[in-house]
Each structure stands twice: as C-alpha cells, then as structure tokens.
Amino acid sequence: MRKLLLPLALTLAASAFSTLTQAENAKAIFAGGCFWCMEEAYDEIEGVKATTSGYIGGEKSNPSYQQVSRGETRHTEAVEVEYDPQTVDYATLLEAFWHNIDPFVENRQFCDSGPQYRSAIFYQNDEQKRLAEKTKAELEERFDQTIATEIVPANQFWEAEGYHQDYYKKNPVRYRFYKAGCGRTDRLKEVWGDQAGLPGNK
C-alpha cells in the first residue's frame, strides 16, 4: 500500500506546484497592430512566460481571422501576455507596448488599416488601468500631441487560429518580409529613436 501511496503523493504534489505556479503568474492584454509582431516583442522580455495571439474588443463569439480582418466584428488583433510579476512588472510591459507601436494614429498601425488594427490597452484591474492612464498622460505631455491608443476594460479574449501562434518563429522569412515591407521598424525609429522596440525587442 505504501508503494502505491508514494507515487500518488508525488503526483498530487506536482499538480499542486503546477497550479500554484500558474496562480502566481499574471496576465496583460495589448493591441498593437499585427499580433505576430507583438508576440515577438514580448517573448524577448525576461519574466514573460507565454504570449498568445487573439482577438478582443468586439461582441461576436469566437470570431475567425477572416471575420476580424474584414472588420466585421469590432475585434482588434491583440496579444495576451502571461508573466511572472516577481520578475517583470506591469509597468515594464507597458513600456514595451508603447515602444512597439505608433501611438498617434487612429484605427491603424503601420501598413495595416482599419479598426481591427487599432492600438489599445485592455486592463484587467484598477492598478493596470491607473498605470496605463498615467503613462498615456505622460506621453501626451512629452510629445505635446494626442495619443490615439484606447484604454478600455478587457472583455472576452479569443485565441486566434493555431497558424497565427508563434508565426514569427514558424515562418521567419515570410515574417521578416512582412515586417520590413510594412514599415514597422522604420516608423518605430522615427517615433522613438533609440528607444524603439524597447524593452526586449531586437
């Protein structure tokens, strides 16, 4: 009986540790145009455990990429970031967000146009909202210009189709061609200078 109980105890302990680890992680959701590019930016930050491309901000349940890309659902492409708050804080994730978008344009990012590519911060609690609004106000003062990025409460996040997940890793040549052709890197440098893509993005 003891031989049977020991493996069971180890299994339960491992399960409890896994649940505890997941519970200790936090989530943040950002929309910054093409979700492939936002995944790459966040994956390079220490403390980020996972990124998931998806759709948020609309009303239709389980929207498809075709529906979202045609602007039929009011969703926007977004990335859900799971992170360890003991290693990286939400303020750092916000810094990465701002330095990876063009904050001045409405209903577009770089070569992608339409409300499905609008920039937005989807907060999940009062502290995320406070920090998002604080940094937005600081940027408006810094640039003396209106920041178009929305700050709105998160609603249902729908995971995108499998072929969109880690696209920049699975299709590096096509991804680099898209990113360069879209003018993302050049525009980020124009807006942010040496801070473009920071922190974390190459």
- What positions carry a catalytic annotation? 34
Stretch (H or E) spanning 79: strand 76-83
The pair phi, psi for residue 60, each rounded to 5°, is -70, 135
Q: How many CB atoms lie within 10 A of CB 53?
A: 23
Q: How many CB atoms lie within 10 A of CB 162?
A: 9
The single-letter DSSP state of residue 146 is -
Tokens representing 172 are 């590096």
β-strand pairing of 76-83 with 48-56: antiparallel
SS3 13: helix
